[in-house]
Each structure stands twice: as structure tokens, then as C-alpha cells.
Amino acid sequence: MLHDGNVEYIKDFSDAVKKAVLAFANSEGGTIYIGIDSQGVVTGLHQAAESLPRMLNSVRNSIRPDVTPVTAAFVERLQDKEIIVFQIRSGPWQPYYLAAKGMSPDGVYIRRDAHIVGASLAEIAMLLSHQGDIAYEARRSFRQDLTFKKLQSCCDSQNIVMDGPFFKQFGVLGDDNLYTNLALLLSDQCERTIQVASYKGNDAAACLSSSDHGSSILQQLDEAMQAIIRCLDTQDGSYHEGNSPQMYPPVALREALLNAVLHRDYTLPANIFVHIFWNRVEIINPGGIVPGLEIQDVLLGVSSCRNPGLGRILQKLCLFKAFAAGVAVILSAYDECAAKPVFSTSPHAFKIMLPNQRRYPKAQPIMEKSDDERMQKVMQLFKKQHSIVRKDVEAATGMSQAAAVVLLRNLVLQGQLQKKGHGKLVTYVLS
């Protein structure tokens, strides 16, 4: 086989032709001459016109997705001999791969330095990222060897037939009949996880337990919720006994976890984290608010789901009721609690803090109205410094040592401040 720029010379039709087609379709395109040997000698083909349809069918059946739309093939006469010419354009659905090998280094070929080589996993991932403005969910999945045991179980429980039309309707299969990234999220092979950890008191350095939940997003939701409840049972008595008030409204916990799953940015190599402290639960998901919205919009009920396909599937399976209702449901669940959920965001993360209702008895307000001014003075301190100590509060408010301790404790219980360290080394930072 002779290599020359964006041209390949191949003596006879073989697997080398298919690899060359793949390499050009996955790169900048090129031309394949079949009937010219490795020395550049025109050997010709017997009955080239009759062989051409068979070659095209072989290429069509061997390569996924269908590469024939970017392939032109014809017979040409050269030195009184017939050869076949394949002209390949750069394909829009990269990576193209051998159906028998899958989307792997043995199945994906590219052009590199005038040679045809198997693509590395990193190069395959790069080709996948070239799908332009196509939404993450609709892009072709890196993996095609997917199974759906958990999805099948959920469909069975709702008397839903999980078949080809179902997969097509909800975007699990793309127009090329290949699995999408939405399929990957729903599959038993999903690579993103939910991590749950509990801590002693409010000290993030004192981890009591942690667990990592993978498999299908549907499986992760179930397992993570069970893990949260186990941590709460261990940390503060039984979550199930219905003590008044409960630690956390069940609907708020469920909605906060669903919110993280639905609005997570799955293109980021990070996982959802659930942190369980003495006085609060924090749920952090990768991906800030969808561009164009601000935190105030979210609190008013305006929402744009980052993963609408996943939302439609979860809605079909009756796992949640309506888009844009999560924040309202969470806030409503805390109507009678002295402390309220706190929502915060950064460019690449979103956090929901749910206060433990047992730490905030509704009959006793956390702050007396006369303390409002002192509380504001404490919060003003953070405009000048990252952390404060008790003496800073005494100086700013004129309070006694004991009163400053109470004020700081209440701000921690409200979820506005976090306590760091122990004894004389205690400092306070914004939550």
C-alpha cells in the first residue's frame, strides 16, 4: 500500500480499503485508488464495473454510522486498465468505526502524517467532541455495548414497553440508530456517579462514612437516597419514626437530589456530592446555572433544564411531576421551619443547602428582632476579611463574650456561617 498525502493506493479490495475509508472520513477526506500496487504500478481490476456495487455494499455494511453519504465511487481507466476510485469527504458524524470492532482503538482509524493508524481513546473522545452544536444528550455515545436492566425494571413497573420505538421517541437511539449519550446515562454502564458522605458535627475534615453510587442514573437515584437515609439514621436517631419535626422533609431531599441529576453538566469530569452534617445537608452538582439565567430567576421559578431528554424519561417513569417545580417544592416543604434552604452557585457548580429542622425549632425563632442589627454588623465583617473570630464580633457589636458566642452559634445554626477548628483556634466563614 503506497501512501501519498491524502491519497491511498491499494492493489485489491480488502480490509485495508475499509480502514482507509474510515481514516479519511474521520480526518480531512481523501482519495483511494484500488488497482494500483504498493510500488505505484497500475495493476488494474478484473470486471471493475461489476465489482463496484459489491465493494460499496461491503463498505456500507462494515462501517458505522453509514459512510456512503460522504463517499463517491466510480470506475476509471488508467494505462488501458480499469481501476476503482473512492473519494471520501470528511464526515459529519465522526468517529466512524468498524461495526465488528466498535468505537475502540481497533475499530476507529484516522490519518496521521500520511499514514493510517488506529485512534487512541483520547483521539476518539476528541472526535466525539466535534459534534458541534448538538446537545450533549443527543451526541453519539462513546460506548455502544450498553445494557438497560434498571431501565427495563422501571419500565415494567409502569407498564411501559421498552423497545425500539420507545428508544427513538425519547432520544435513546439517534437518527443513525446508534446509542446517544442519553442512553449512556440511563444504561448500567453510566460512568458518572453520586457520592454520599456524612461528617461528625459540622467538621468537613471529620468524615464518618462515604459511599460512591454508579450504574444507571435511575439506580444511582435509588441507592443515593437510601444511603442518605442510612447516614441520617446513624447520625441522629431514626429518620423513619416521624418525630416532629423530621430532620428533613422527604420531598425536599428527593427534589434536591433530582435537581442535581437533571441539571448536572455531564460533560464535566466531576460527580454529584451529598454532604451530611449535624445541622444541614448539602447537595452539590457540577455545572452552574444554565447561561442566561441568574440565581434570582431560579428562586422565582424560572428554569431551563440542562438535560431535557433525561427529564422526559424520568417524568415518563413518574419519578418527578413537572419541570421548573423543584425549587418551589423544596421551599414549600420548609414553610414552617425557622431556617430556610439556601441556594448558591458558581460558574461550574450549584449547591442546595437543606437545614436540619430539628436544629431550628419553629416555636423559638433563631434570632430576636433586636438582634438583627448585630447580625448585620457581623455579616459586614466578611466584606473585609475571609474569616472571623469571636473577638471580631465583640468589637463590632459591643457584645459580651457569652452573647457573642450565642450570636455566632445561631448564625451557624441558620446556615449562614460555618464553624472551623476547635477551642482557641475556632474561626467562622460564610457558608
Residues 203 and 348 in one domain: yes
Residue-number span of the structural domain to which 169 is assigned: 136-186
Lowest mean pLDDT among 157-171, 213-227, 276-290, 327-341: 327-341
Domain closes at, from 359, 384, 419: 359
Lowest mean pLDDT among 83-87, 94-98, 249-253, 409-413: 409-413
In a domain, 257, yes or no: yes
What pLDDT is attached to residue 403?
A: 74
Residues 119 and 140 in one domain: no
Residues 61 and 209 in one domain: no
State the CATH number of the domain containing residue 404. Answer: 1.10.10.10
In a domain, 364, yes or no: no
DSSP SS3 for 280: strand
In a domain, 27, yes or no: yes
> pLDDT tens across 383-412, in order?
889 999 989 998 888 887 767 877 887 788
How large a percentage of the chain has pLDDT more than 90? 50
Residues 227 and 305 in one domain: yes
- All residues at 6 or more sequence positions from 305 whose CB lies less than 8 Å from its CB, including other chains: 262, 263, 290, 311, 323, 324
Model confidence band, residue 243 (pLDDT cutoffs 50, 70, 90): very low
Residues 344 and 200 in one domain: yes
Question: How many domains does one find in the chain?
Answer: 4
Residues 294 and 236 in one domain: yes
Distances 258 to 79, 148, 350 between C-alpha atoms, Å: 69, 20, 13
In a domain, 84, yes or no: yes
d(CA 164, CA 173): 8
Whether a cis peptide bond, with omega within 30° of 0, leads into 95 is yes
State the CATH number of the domain containing residue 19. Answer: 3.30.950.30
Residues 112 and 251 in one domain: no
Neighbouring C-beta atoms of residue 207, cutoff 10 Å: 12
The total number of residues shown for the chain amounts to: 431
Q: Which residue has the higher pLDDT, 9 or 425?
A: 9
Model-wide pTM > 0.95: no
In a domain, 322, yes or no: yes
In a domain, 302, yes or no: yes
What pLDDT is attached to residue 24?
A: 94
Neighbouring C-beta atoms of residue 417, cutoff 10 Å: 23
- Is the backbone of residue 219 left (phi > 0), alpha (psi -120 to 50) or beta? alpha
> pLDDT tens across 197-224, in order?
999 988 889 999 999 999 999 999 999 9
Model confidence band, residue 363 (pLDDT cutoffs 50, 70, 90): very low
The whole-number average pLDDT for the span 246-268 is: 90
Residues 93 and 57 in one domain: yes
Distances 198 to 28, 117, 205, 252, 281 between C-alpha atoms, Å: 52, 48, 10, 18, 9
Residues 343 and 225 in one domain: yes
Domain closes at, from 105, 129, 153: 129
In a domain, 36, yes or no: yes
How large a percentage of the chain has pLDDT more than 70? 91
Comparing CA positions, the residue from 192, 339, 334, 200 lying closest to residue 267 is 192
Residues 210 and 333 in one domain: yes
Residues 94 and 113 in one domain: yes
Residues 91 and 56 in one domain: yes
Q: Which residue has the higher pLDDT, 50 or 301?
A: 50
Mean pLDDT rounded to a whole number for the chain: 86
d(CA 340, CA 236): 20
Contact 179, 188 (CB under 8 A): no
